[in-house]
Amino acid sequence: MAKFESNVLRNVAIVGHGATGKTSLCESLLYNAGKTDRPGRVDEGTSSMDFEPEEQKRRISISAATNFFEWEKHKITILDTPGDSNFAYDTRNCLRIADGIIIVIDAVGGVEFQTEKVWEYANEFKLPRIMFINRMDRERADFGKSIESIMNRLGKKATPLFIPIGAEDSFKGVVDLIQKKALIFDNLKGTYKATGIPSDMVDTVEKFRENMVEDIAESDDALMDKYLDTGELSDDELKAGLRKSVIAGTLIPVVCGSALKNIGITPLIDLIVNVLPSPLDRGPVTGKKLGTDDTEIRNPEESDPFSAIVFKTIADPYAGRLTLFRTFSGTVSADSTFYNSKRKITERFGNIFFLEGKNQKSVESLVPGDIAAVAKLKETVTGDTICNEKSPIVFEKVIPPPPIMSFAVTPKSRGDEEKIVSSINRIIEEDPTLTFHRDEQTKEMILSGMGQVHIEVSVEKMKRKFGVEVTLKTPKVPYKETIKGKTNVQGKYKKQSGGRGQFGDCWLDIEPLPRGGGFDFVDKIVGGVIPQQYRPAVEKGIVEAMGEGVVAGYPVVDVKVSLVDGSYHTVDSSEMAFKIAGSLGFKKGVLACQPVLLEPIVNIDIEIPDEYMGDVIGDLNGRRGKVLGMESKGVNRIIKGQVPLAEILRYAPDLRSMTSGRGTFTYEHSHYEEVPSFIAEKVIAESKKEQ
């Protein structure tokens, strides 16, 4: 394919809430540019962007996909991003390397929760943006209400550049407010004819156009002076002012259409070319000098040293690891070496290619702004910086959010434990928001992620890619046992059955330690009532008994045991006899010391819109939680509290349901507290049943 210079590249992320038609828009963009014979559709299995079986099954984008097309001597790379909050990290990574975004809004639903989140991401990365109000052909589609929701929910003034002609079944085109022309579309073909403005829309068009001209003029002093003097601006001045203000982020243009009916898509492509920035317009990127906190700059020029960031990794059982990266500076060619400054290693590119959905197109070299992929890198993963070894730089990576939901993973086939571990680690290479560990207390393999859908999809991928099937279940809560009272108890083990017998006898003082005190063993033996060589065995027996638990099989913590007396037999005593005696004495003593169960308590931060405060706090109280404080974050509130871990194992779907998908939360372990007696009875009964 022909080589494109950086000034004609456009890297555009398509973002928005789930089910707003982002993938359909991508398919229509590709079709109108002549890249496909017909617009692909997810529900038909013909989508070139949502091609993973898990996506087609659920009809949602699960993983970001890239493709590109040519338009008016420009190369436009599109990144189709997930709209489900389970997969928001992938979206945020794509925004990290995009130069502009199109935010897709449903003409019926308006601005929804995930739209607000991607708006925050766009602000974080200072991205120019276009708002595309999609599905104007749907029943109850309302352009005016959609504009209002942008203003109210995002707190940003929106400037329509196109307004719809008709709505719902009668939607047939748009009015271009700059050119003052009606664009009537030939259904599905994407072609249109420019006509005069319908007579019943003349006043509406004048009103919208006047607002648009004022918004563009306000973003530039020279334009404002001319507008105040003459009361008008030429089309060329409007276009120049529009581009400048969009790139500067001072104006948010709004357009509309229907991705499914292919209405309003070709003018949108023109707008991408004309107003969204090239890598050169975005300017230099900032990183750190290797091993320091000093700033290092890279200009988007071929003469600068090569630098890029890896924004996505795809695990493929046949092709190996597929690494996607964005070039920020310099050039690089196939079969060359690069330096991974995060891991301080050198690796080699094989073939470099541009992705076309699941297909690949080989390319000999890259320029600043190119988004490309390479296969079979051994150590480079998502978030790594790759660069020229003689001029190393480290770019800041997008940190994965902490997981909020966990499942215990068990193999469906015996002996698959090792395959599970290796397969999950391959999936984690692709998706760093997953974590995996073996719980030392419960002995369960725990897979954690951003929600139930996230983990279920990951397990489906593991089966498809690596042939490993697992069962998911709610993980066990790592309860602990402790005591509240004191006792003095004898532990005695005596066995005589022919030959040498076994004899061990010890007296123990058992008492509680403060919470978090662990275990303290004190040898208070005076004289030789128990010989020195047998005393450590008593401690060993106690430690083993603590690990097995006494009341419900959970580890015993926060106790002090003093060995105060005992007796021995010169022939029958042994280390094993005293170890058993220590264990027996400890177990008997714990039952006499008011044993209780402890449960893990977590600190939780719940971010929600103000309107859901009452419901969420009431629900938290019902989970035995307590509110510790509140903070404001933009238009949202953050509830800070503490709650038993057992009460939030399935909190993610419950919170989404309570808040119409707009609530999020994070949590971390805080401490252990005593379990209320009525709950402890159930836990103990369940534990005994399992045993």
| Cα–Cα distance, 227 to 229 (Å, whole number) | 5
Q: Give the torsion sign (CA, 554, 560, 566, 568).
A: positive
Q: What is the pLDDT of residues 104-152, one digit of tens each?
A: 999 999 998 899 999 999 999 999 999 999 999 999 999 999 999 999 8
Tell the residue number behind the tokens 């279940």, with chain if given. 473
Residue 526: the pLDDT is: 87
Residue 422 has pLDDT above 80, yes or no: yes
- Domain ranges for the chain, please list them: 9-195+251-280, 285-394, 405-473, 481-593, 597-690
How far are the Cα atoms of 77, 282, 690 from residue 269, in angstroms, in the given order? 12, 19, 62
CATH architecture of the domain with range 9-195+251-280: 3-Layer(aba) Sandwich (3.40)
How far are the Cα atoms of 115, 129, 620, 646 from residue 658, in angstroms, in the given order? 18, 31, 12, 19
Q: What is the pLDDT of residues 429-461, one digit of tens each?
A: 899 999 999 999 989 999 999 999 999 999 999
Confidence of residue 689 (pLDDT cuts 50, 70, 90): confident
Residue 633: the pLDDT is: 84
- Among 242-246, 280-284, 494-498, which stretch is predicted with the lowest mean pLDDT? 494-498
**What's the whole-number mean pLDDT along residues 274-290?**
96
Query: Which pair of structure tokens corresponds to residue 360?
Result: 């690949």
Q: What secondary structure does DSSP assign to 262-325, as a single string? A: TBSHHHHHHHHHHHSPPHHHH--EEEEETTSS-EEEE-SSTTSPPEEEEEEEEEETTTEEEEEE
Residue 241 has pLDDT above 80, yes or no: yes
Query: Which pair of structure tokens corresponds to residue 390?
Result: 């003689």
Residue 125 contacts by C-beta under 8 Å, 6 or more apart in sequence? Answer: 95, 96, 98
Q: What is the pLDDT of residues 163-178, one digit of tens each?
A: 999 999 999 999 999 9
CATH of domain 285-394: 2.40.30.10
**What's the whole-number mean pLDDT along residues 214-235?**
89
Q: For domain 405-473, give the fold.
A: Alpha-Beta Plaits (3.30.70)
Task: For residue 237, give the H/E element and its range.
Answer: helix 235-248
**Beta-carbon count within 10 A of 578 CB:** 31
Domains 9-195+251-280 and 405-473 share a fold: no
The end-to-end CA distance of the chain, in Å, is 66
Residue 373 has pLDDT above 80, yes or no: yes
Q: What is the pLDDT of residues 283-295, one digit of tens each?
A: 999 999 998 989 9
Residue 221 has pLDDT above 90, yes or no: no
Q: What is the pLDDT of residues 462-497, one digit of tens each?
A: 999 999 999 999 999 999 999 999 999 999 999 877
Q: What is the pLDDT of residues 618-674, one digit of tens each?
A: 999 999 999 999 999 877 899 999 999 999 999 999 999 999 888 999 999 999 999
Q: What is the pLDDT of residues 209-218, one digit of tens each?
A: 999 999 999 9
Confidence of residue 529 (pLDDT cuts 50, 70, 90): very high
- Between 191 and 340, the higher pLDDT residue: 340
Residue 1 has pLDDT above 70, yes or no: no
Confidence of residue 498 (pLDDT cuts 50, 70, 90): low
Q: Is 154 exposed, middle or buried (0-12, 13-18, 19+ CB in 10 A)?
A: buried
CATH of domain 597-690: 3.30.70.240
- % the chain with pLDDT above 70: 99
Confidence of residue 25 (pLDDT cuts 50, 70, 90): very high
Q: For domain 481-593, give the fold.
A: Ribosomal Protein S5; domain 2 (3.30.230)
Q: What secondary structure does DSSP assign to 167-219, as a single string? A: -GGG--EEEETTTTEEEEE-TTT--EEEEPPPGGGHHHHHHHHHHHHHHHHHT
Contact yes or no for 126/219 (Cβ under 8 A): no
Contact yes or no for 371/360 (Cβ under 8 A): no
The pTM score is 0.88
